[in-house]
Chains A and B, each alone.
Chain A
Amino acid sequence: MPTERELAISPIVQESVQHNTRVISNIRSLTASLFGVASGILGLESYAGFAFYLLGTFFVSVLIWAFLAKGKQGEYFQGPLSELWAGDVLGGGMSFVLTWTLFYGLVRA
């Protein structure tokens, strides 16, 4: 994190930070449910399902990095690691499990 003096010299635009966080969390929650649907259809169980989720999340992170941040992650995120690559992974995990179990049950009823 930058110190207070550095922040005074080159300020951060809070509005943009909030906007970016919102964009990321929107994408995350949508794709998390999507991965749940997919792993339900594929009939993945226990560790395989969670591995699928983590893999998919990483894929989405790469997509965001390439298309939205255009490779310049430092320009759009204060802490790229926590905000882009790991942002909302746990929160998305909940909706992943929800749709995963739902679709697993639907397809294999």
Chain B
Amino acid sequence: MPSYLSRPLTVLGLLFLSHACYSAYEHSTLLTPSPQSSTIASTSTSSPPTASLPLDISLETIISVIMICVGLVVGAEELKPIMWRVWAGKVERESGGGGPFQGLEDRLGFVDIRAKRKEFADWVRDQDNDKK
């Protein structure tokens, strides 16, 4: 699953979840007996009003949770290989032959800047000649 789907999925899931939350709240307030009819209600219903939640609200909650989970996991940072071999191979390819030990071969502390300048000047000259 492509990772650009992660954010829309998570946001949509959060919307559904808040909707489900509000619905459940409404449902429970509707079921709570009003003060006037409390005497009748207490005799007719013995079970607590919170026991049953309509199926659609439960389903909405569960589906939204699944959506958010998938969104979070897909959008998470990629894991990095822990085996040196695999990790090094990846680093080597991604940086085009670099890696943390490349500095040992470049050796900035010992760079011969005059040779580098000359090399660059030659390169520029070559480019100009190619254009002509």
- The answer to A–B direct touch (Cβ < 8 A) is yes
CB pair A30–B72 under 8 Å, yes or no, is: yes
Contact residues in B for A108 (Cβ distance below 8 Å): 28, 50
What distance in Å separates the Cβ of A69 from its nearest Cβ neighbour in chain B? 6
Q: What CA separation (Å) do A16 and B70 show in the bound complex?
A: 23
What distance in Å separates the Cβ of B22 from its nearest Cβ neighbour in chain A? 9
Tell me how many residue pairs across A and B have CB atoms closer than 8 Å.
105
CB pair B79–A76 under 8 Å, yes or no, is: yes
CB pair A37–B72 under 8 Å, yes or no, is: no
Q: Does B87 contact A (CB under 8 A)?
A: yes
In the complex, residue of chain B having the shortest beta-carbon distance to the beta carbon of A77: B82
CB pair B85–A10 under 8 Å, yes or no, is: yes
Q: What CA separation (Å) do A37 and B53 show in the bound complex?
A: 15
Q: What CA separation (Å) do A59 and B81 show in the bound complex?
A: 23
Contact residues in B for A77 (Cβ distance below 8 Å): 82
With A27-B73, A30-B72 known to touch, is A107 a contact of B24 (CB < 8 Å)? yes
Dominant SS among interface residues on chain B: helix
CB pair A37–B21 under 8 Å, yes or no, is: yes
CB pair A78–B82 under 8 Å, yes or no, is: yes
What 1/0 mask marks residues of chain A from 90 to 109 whose CB sits below 8 Å from any chain B CB? 00000000000001001111
With A19-B79, A27-B76 known to touch, is A38 a contact of B84 (CB < 8 Å)? no
Q: Does A54 contact B (CB under 8 A)?
A: no
Contact residues in B for A19 (Cβ distance below 8 Å): 77, 79-80
What 1/0 mask marks residues of chain A from 39 to 67 whose CB sits below 8 Å from any chain B CB? 00111000000000000100110011001
CB pair A107–B28 under 8 Å, yes or no, is: yes
In the complex, residue of chain B having the shortest beta-carbon distance to the beta carbon of A66: B73
- Interface set, chain B 15-68, CB cutoff 8 A to A: 17, 20-21, 24-25, 28, 50-51, 53, 57-58, 61-62, 64-66, 68
CB pair B62–A60 under 8 Å, yes or no, is: no
What distance in Å separates the Cβ of A78 from its nearest Cβ neighbour in chain B? 6
CB pair B70–A63 under 8 Å, yes or no, is: yes
CB pair A10–B84 under 8 Å, yes or no, is: yes
CB pair A42–B79 under 8 Å, yes or no, is: no
Q: Does B128 contact A (CB under 8 A)?
A: no
